[in-house]
Chains A and B, each alone.
Chain A
Amino acid sequence: MSARALHAVTRFGLGPRPDQPLPADPERWLRAQIRTPAPLPGPDAADCGRVSRLRRDDPGFMPSGYFPQEARAWLGRLLLSPDGFLERWTDLWCNHLCVSRRAAGVSSWGGHYHRTAIRPHVFGRFEDMFLAAMRHPAMLNYLDNVASYGPGSRAGQNGRLTANENLARETLELHSVTLEGGYAQEDVASLALILTGWNIGRGPDYREPEGFLFRGIRHEPGPKRLMGETFPEGEEGGVAALRFLARHPCTYRNLARRIATHFIADDPPAAALARLEASLSASGGDLGEAARTLVALPEAWQPLRKLASQQDYAVAVLRGIGAGEEGVEPLLNRLGAFDQPLWMPPAPIGWPDKAPGWNAPEQLMRRLDWVSALSSGLAANFPLDPPELVERLRGPLAPEEVRLAVARAPSRREGFILALAHPGMHRR
Chain B
Amino acid sequence: MSQLISLKGVSKKFILRHHKVSRLKEQIIDFLRGTRYISEEFWALKDITFTVDRGETVGIIGENGSGKSTLLQLLAGILVPDQGKLEVKGKVAPLIELGAGFNPELTGRENIYLNGSILGFKRKEIHHKLKDIIAFSGLQRFIDQPVKNYSSGMYMRLAFSISIHVDPDILLVDEILAVGDLPFQQECFKRIQDFKNKGKTIILVSHDLNTLSTFCDRTLLLHKGELIAQGNTREVIARYVEILGKPDNSEGVKQSISLPGSGEIQRDGPSPQEGKRWGSGEIEITRVTFLDKERKETCQFKTHDPFIARIHYVAHQRIKKPVFGLALISEKDNIQINGPNTRFDNRVIEYLEDRGYVEYIIDRLPLLPGDYWLLVSVWDYECQQVFDAQDRMHKFKVIPGGTPERYGLISIPARWEYYGDQDSEARNRNPLNPES
B is bound to A: no
Interface residues of A (CB under 8 A from B): none
